Chains A and B, each alone.
Chain A
Amino acid sequence: MSIIKIDNLKRTYGTKVLTYALKGVTFEVSGGDFLIIMGKSGSGKSTLLHQLGLLDTPTSGEIFIKNENTKDLSEKKKTIFRLEKLGYIFQEYAILPELTALENVYLPLMVSSNNGKKDFKKTAMEMLKLVGLEHRFDHYSNELSGGEQQRVAIARALVNNPEVLFADEPCANLDTQASKNILDLLKGLNKKLGQTIIMVSHEPEDKKYADRILWLEDGLIVKDERVK
């Protein structure tokens, strides 16, 4: 069953001179998939992920997430959607430096209607344990390695049980071992929890983690590959 449906998505930049980042992309993503979007630099990978993660607004086309047309969402509803239905991992370790690992993770729970009266600290602790950071609850970003910061970002992205987890080249700034650990973690989450993951990468070795690979070139899908 498709969890995301994209129909003829276009994104242009500029006013006088137009840059066509996405020239009409159409595809669907099934629940539980680990989809990797690959392509050369400037092919439109990150732009596509930004549209899917509702961080940017497409010039035209439609994005349905769980059958909900995101085009119809108000700014406020998009914010709630990002908070409760989507998780996003940035290329840089986008965790807040003034918060501890634990605080970074429970921050989205503090405002989420999903949390009910649950103990959000306990939930955040469980999430940090899941990503192997049970010994780093009270550490700040400057006390964590790059890989550990990215794990905190993953725990934060997962803490609200998102429908889809987006990862924008999450290993770009990590060494080989740390990259492997992060990708193993994401794969494990995908397998164990059935978490739908859409990741952007330009590393050919990452292909082995994917269930499916979308190849982008000049803003268009040139190959849709199902990996066995």
Chain B
Amino acid sequence: MDKLNTALFLAYKAIVRGNIGTTILTISVMVLAFVNLLFLSSILLGLVNTMNRQGVDNLYANIVIEPDSEDKMISNASRVMTTVNGVPGVIGSSRHYKIGGFFTFDRNKNNQEVKSGQYSVISIDPNKEKKITNINKSIVYGNYLEENDRNKIVIGKDLAGGKSGSFEKDSLGGINVGEEVTVSFENGVTRVYEVKGIFNSKFVQSDKAAFITNDEMESILGIANAAHEIIVKTEDGVAESYYLEKFSSMGIKEDIYPWTDYMGMTESFSKSFTLIRTLLSAIALLVAGITIYIVIYINVLNNKKQIGILRAIGIDKKIIIISYTVQALFYAISGIVIGLVALNLILVPYFQVHPLEFPVGDVHLEIVQTELVLSAVSLTIAGFISGFLPTRQITNKTILDSIWG
């Protein structure tokens, strides 16, 4: 107990009476090491989560019901929707028709500057869709669809063009609200639509699509109460697999998929980013560990003479090692605490207000608690080793080497 008290006393005095500039610098290095450990990793995680969230919020919701392999459409869609909407935890469902269309836009109607391209047309029940996806909230020009809209279309920013989109060359070259676009559907029907609204979901997969009402689509296809897909929104916190089983047990014969099955591209991004995050974290940890080691090692080396004096007056090696290890832990833990404050009170709120803009959406810093704990523990261990090893090395020298060497 005397030894521990003495070690803590020496550590306390060294910190309190140490050079304030050196202390601030050492703790700053620890803060940077800790933040660096989490920062890039958190951005990549934010990117992955944004991609996933965008897919759920704009295209697929949580669960997608498709016709089984023998059918091209879900017949009696209202029955399926009534069934799934009755399951506790289901927020709502929406049926979609999805069909390809060849878009032609001739602004001056003189065949001089015709822009055209093949795009996906999705039909929706506008009011039901509001509960399921965020397209209605993403309108940046004009208005969202209404239930009785016919010959009206809302199109994505990347399809419209001229709105700083990501695929300007493949767009309609800057079509505006109120202008007309001709759409030739796969089944041979051609219609002229007035652009009612342009949306920017910041998700490239939906921003290259166009939306019309289900009534309009049914008049094109000549069918009713059917769907190419029904998307189902569920409450957070319950795994999609639960609903998959539940829906099947309630007699839904159609194919049922979780949203993740539709995020092929983002899934591969996600996997790669996870690998990159792991590698970056490992490298950052190594760099942080080496940095801390060097900083503490220099501190211990600067105090070599004092270590020699302490040994000369009969202070046990263990006391000296504990004292310097406690000092190193103090620097590491201070760095972690300040780093946590910086992350949670400065960086995370900053990126919340000023998100990074990616083609998949706005990316915020997303910190996983387990990663945070892991980083804090790793740095604490690095601090411990950085205090322990150099002090042990110096206390293993002869006393005279420590004092004069």
Asked if B14 contacts A88 (CB within 8 A), the reply is: no
Asked if B315 contacts A96 (CB within 8 A), the reply is: no
Task: Give the distance to chain A from B309, nearest Cβ to Cβ, in Å.
Answer: 5
Asked if A56 contacts B306 (CB within 8 A), the reply is: no
Task: Give the distance to chain B from A164, nearest Cβ to Cβ, in Å.
Answer: 13
Task: Given A55-B400, A56-B399, A111-B3, decide whether A82 and B313 contact each other with a Cβ distance below 8 A.
Answer: yes
Asked if B310 contacts A96 (CB within 8 A), the reply is: yes
**Contacting residues, chain B, for A90 (C-beta < 8 A):** 309, 312, 403
Determine if A183 is an interface residue (Cβ-Cβ < 8 Å): no
Determine if A172 is an interface residue (Cβ-Cβ < 8 Å): no
**Contacting residues, chain B, for A53 (C-beta < 8 A):** 312
Interface residue tally for chain A (C-beta within 8 Å): 31
**Contacting residues, chain A, for B319 (C-beta < 8 A):** 111
Asked if B314 contacts A56 (CB within 8 A), the reply is: no
Most chain A beta-carbon contacts within 10 A, residue among B14, B306, B309, B311: B309
Asked if B2 contacts A111 (CB within 8 A), the reply is: yes
**Contacting residues, chain B, for A81 (C-beta < 8 A):** 314
Asked if A107 contacts B315 (CB within 8 A), the reply is: yes
Asked if B316 contacts A96 (CB within 8 A), the reply is: no
Query: From residue 37 to 93 of chain A, which have CB atoms closer than 8 A to chain B?
Result: 50, 53, 55-57, 76, 79-84, 86, 88, 90
Most chain A beta-carbon contacts within 10 A, residue among B18, B306, B312: B312
Asked if A84 contacts B314 (CB within 8 A), the reply is: yes
User: Contact string, B305-327, partner A, CB cutoff 8 A, digits 1/0?
Assistant: 11001111111110100000000
Determine if A227 is an interface residue (Cβ-Cβ < 8 Å): no
A98 to B265, CA, bound (A): 61
A99 to B306, CA, bound (A): 12
User: Contact string, A150-183, partner B, CB cutoff 8 A, digits 1/0?
Assistant: 0000001100100000000000000000000000
A157 to B399, CA, bound (A): 17
Of the candidates A79, A95, A98, A140, the one whose C-beta lies within 8 Å of that of B14 is A98
Determine if A132 is an interface residue (Cβ-Cβ < 8 Å): no
Determine if A222 is an interface residue (Cβ-Cβ < 8 Å): no
User: Contact string, A96-119, partner B, CB cutoff 8 A, digits 1/0?
Assistant: 111100010001101110000000
A55 to B6, CA, bound (A): 22
Asked if A107 contacts B309 (CB within 8 A), the reply is: no
Determine if B269 is an interface residue (Cβ-Cβ < 8 Å): no
A86 to B311, CA, bound (A): 12
Of the candidates A50, A97, A103, A107, the one whose C-beta lies within 8 Å of that of B313 is A107
Of the candidates B18, B305, B313, B400, the one whose C-beta lies within 8 Å of that of A56 is B400
Determine if B169 is an interface residue (Cβ-Cβ < 8 Å): no
Task: Give the distance to chain B from A140, nearest Cβ to Cβ, in Å.
Answer: 7
Asked if A76 contacts B17 (CB within 8 A), the reply is: no
A81 to B400, CA, bound (A): 17
Instruction: List 23 A–B pairs whose Cβ atoms lie within 8 Å, in order of A's numbering.
Output: A55-B312, A57-B398, A79-B314, A79-B315, A80-B314, A82-B314, A88-B312, A90-B309, A94-B312, A96-B306, A96-B309, A96-B310, A98-B13, A98-B14, A98-B18, A99-B17, A103-B13, A107-B10, A110-B9, A111-B3, A111-B314, A112-B314, A156-B313
Residues of B within 8 A of A (CB): 2-3, 5-6, 9-10, 13-14, 16-18, 305-306, 309-317, 319, 398-400, 403
Known: A98-B16, A99-B17, A111-B2. 4 other contacts (CB 8 A): A94-B309, A95-B309, A97-B306, A98-B17
